[in-house]
Structure formats: C-alpha cells, structure tokens
Amino acid sequence: MPPTILIVDDDATIRHNAHFILEKGGMKAVMASSGEEGLAKMRTTAVDLVLLDVQMPGMGGLEALRLMRERHPDVGVIMFSVIKDIGVAVEAMHAGALDYVTKDFSPPELIARVRKTLAQLRAGRELERLHDVEAAQVARPMVLGRSPRMRAVCEVADKIANKPISVLVTGESGTGKEVLARYIHARSDRRNGPFVAVNLPAIPANLVESELFGHERGAFTGADKQKLGKFELANGGTLFLDEVGDLALELQSKILRALQEHEIERVGGEKPIQLDLRIICATNRDLPARVREGKFREDLYWRLKVVPVDVPPLRERREDIRDLAQHFLARFAAEHGRRPQTLSEGAAQLLERYRWPGNIRELENMMQRMAVVCDSEVVEESDLPYDLALAAAGAAEEPPSETQSLEAAMLAFEKSYLRKALKRNEWNRKRTAEQLQIGYSTLKTKLKAFGLGHDENDDES
C-alpha cells in the first residue's frame, strides 16, 4: 500500500500544493491546519510520515513535534518552514525530526526528500527487527558442546572473534554453523551491532542481488521504492552468508569486490556505499572441488578462507549428544508450558548410539517432538520413535557378547523395546502401534514372532 503522509500547515495554499505533489508521486496525503488537529488525526489515521510546519498559531511546530515523537515514536517527521535559519533546523533535528525542508522546494525535491526519509524509517524498523531476533537468540544459551572436537572449534573462535578477518565455516547440513557464527559475533567488538543471517538457497535466484545489495527505486519492474540490502543492514556488525557455495558466479565477483573494497552498489545505483562489517560464510559444499569444476571463483575461495573452521558432524562428537538433547528438551518443555523433562539413562544411551544423519537439527526436532507427545516427566527408551531405536541398536559398535551375532542382538533389542512400549501403554496394542508409528498388523506380526502378549489388558478384550 502507498505510504500515508500527514501535512500539517496553517497555510492552505502550502497544504494543497504539498498534497497535490505527494499524490502525484504515488503517495496518499491527508491534511491538518494546526498542530492540535494534526495530533488528533494521528489518533485515528495510520500515518507513516508527517510534514510539519514550524510556525503556526496556537501550538507551534516544535511543540507538536515533541508530542508526536512522544505519542507516536514509530512515525517520522519532516519539518518544513519559510525560515532558513540553521539554528531552527538544528533544534528541530535535536527534538526528533528526520529532515528539515524550506518551503521554496520544487516538486521533485519534496518527493525525493520524502522518499529518502521513508526509506530511512523502513531501514530503522528492519534493524529493530533484526536486533529483536538477535536478542531472542542471545537469550537462549548457545550450547556448542564440550567434546574435544568442539572445544578445539571454540578455541579458534575465541582467538579470531575480535580480529577483522573473514571466516569460512564448513560442515554438514544441520551441524550448527550459524550457531558458531553467532558465537563469534557475540564475543567480538561488534557484539552491539546487528547480526544479519542470510540463507542464500532460500532466496529466488533473480532476487539474490537485490536482497544482498539493495536496490534503488525503478531499478527493475516492481522496484517501487528504495530497499536496503543485507550488506547495509549489517553495517557495523556481522553478515552471515549461509551456503555460499551455491552462489551464482556472477554474484561471486560482487561479493569479492565487497570484501576487497569494503563497499557495495545498490542495483540501479550510481555511487558506491562504504561499509564497515565482518562477513562470516558457511557451506556444506566441497568448495575446492567446485573451484576445480569452474563453479566457484578461486580468488573468492582464498579470500573467504582466511580462517577456515570445520564443524564436525554429531556422530563424531557423541559426547555432546546427551547435553544437547537435555538442553533442547528443557527449552521446548518451557516453550510449551510443561514441567521440565529429563532423559532416562536408557533413552540417553539410545540417542548416543544413533548416527544422526540430520545432525543437531534432527536432534533438536526430535526433542521438540518428545516435549509435545511424551506425557511423562522422564523420556524413556520406549518413548523414542521405533525406527530411531532400531537404527540406534544396529549402530552399536560391537555385539553384547562374543558369540552373539549382530542380527541376534538387534532382535533381542527389538523384543525388549516392544515389551517396554506395550507396558507403558498398559498392553494396549492399538495405542502402542500409534505411538511407534507402525501399522497395527505389523505390530501384531512382530508380537506373535516374539511371543509377546497380555490377554488380561489386551485392547481387543
């Protein structure tokens, strides 16, 4: 929707001229003849920006400005006046005005100043949103793990946190590469600046450049207003580019230039914009192989790889699984308004034996599922999904005894697991099949093969 501009001026000619210019510029304009009327309109009308006269009878412009900033802090104000006094302009800016325009403005100048201020307001709101997101992330403890592999990763991160160098984080999908990037940002001298995370594969290919570098109004079809890109929004802080290995070649050169020159150009822009930010990139791709295939620029690869940090998969840091699982379980129990839950020793051991192909993301999702579907305060082995339990049993490094085959060990585990699940469900087979997410007929076949049954409390009795 077009932005709404409130014009507050006691001069009817000025009001109507400004109204005509703004409407012609594609904006919606409303009018008020005094500061009191302007404040009244702001109580009933959603306003994006106010053009406010300095000198008016009754409530003066500066007094109206202070009240507007106090009552409507999200609305921007541009002061305009016949007075070309720098002192008045400075006072207005100190009181919260975003710009000061004299009334000898030309139509193109007024439209340009209004659009620039609207863009400034949008950027401010986006930065506030990013700070809110970052605050929510910081409020959650960043659990990276205490295994030797992760301690080594954290030691490197601590050493480079305050160094103004690029970092390339590698690792499988779901290993916590963004968590590590936030860890570095939180320990750097940029911690009070924004942390802007960009998931590159999630952006349509034709919009990646605009999302990263921003665009000017009219730069392409649909660009009806100026937009700041992620680089500008991260100015003074950290920009995290996830899955940089998927970036198109034509954009890689622009990323390289931004890294080398510390400047960017918006799409459709004519002048470079100087920036001060740190870039952390992450990928699950084999970048050297992509360089050899001609799909990734070699100069960009070496520019990014000033400090490489590899985050190991969860199956190579099993010592962290129990702590991570308990952390996620406690967090999701709190989010869903439940009492704290814990893992039984048997459940914890099963989680440690499972290989976690989806890494930490899979573990996090599993603990959220347990917080929702498990009614007890202790998550038992039989509460875990049937397929996960069997996969974990099959991943055991050695059979229980020297004479027992792996197949026999898995069958013994499956029988024990089914018995525990049945017991927890009071031997109700239909409820047990639903909990294990297997077919009822499949469960009956397995129970018959294992000789398991309980006639007294059977669901069919």
- Return the pLDDT at 396: 52
DSSP 8-class letter at 205: G
Closest C-alpha among 338, 127, 149, 135 to residue 228: 127
Q: How far apart are CA 193 and CA 314, in angstroms?
A: 31
Domains of the chain: 4-122 (3.40.50.2300), 140-312 (3.40.50.300), 317-397 (1.10.8.60), 405-461 (1.10.10)
Q: How far apart are CA 315 and CA 110, in angstroms?
A: 61
- Return the pLDDT at 129: 66
- Return the pLDDT at 406: 52
CB 210 within 8 A of CB 202: no
DSSP string, 228-255: --HHHHTTTSEEEEETGGG--HHHHHHH
Q: How far apart are CA 419 and CA 64, in angstroms?
A: 75
Token pair 């959650």 is found at 140
Q: What is the pLDDT along the chain (461 residues), one digit of tens a residue?
A: 789 999 999 999 999 999 999 999 999 999 999 999 999 999 888 899 999 998 899 898 989 998 998 888 889 999 988 877 777 788 888 888 889 888 888 999 999 999 989 888 887 777 666 555 554 444 444 467 788 889 899 899 999 999 988 999 999 999 989 989 999 998 899 988 889 999 998 898 889 999 999 998 888 887 878 888 999 999 999 999 999 998 999 899 999 999 999 899 999 988 899 999 999 999 999 999 999 999 999 999 999 999 999 999 999 999 999 989 988 888 888 888 888 889 999 889 889 989 999 999 999 999 999 998 888 889 988 888 878 877 876 665 444 445 445 555 556 566 667 777 777 776 777 877 777 777 777 777 777 766 666 544 444 43
Backbone angles phi, psi at 228, to 5 degrees: -85, 135
- Return the pLDDT at 412: 59
Please give the radius of gyration of the chain, using alpha carbons only, rounded to the nearest integer. Answer: 31
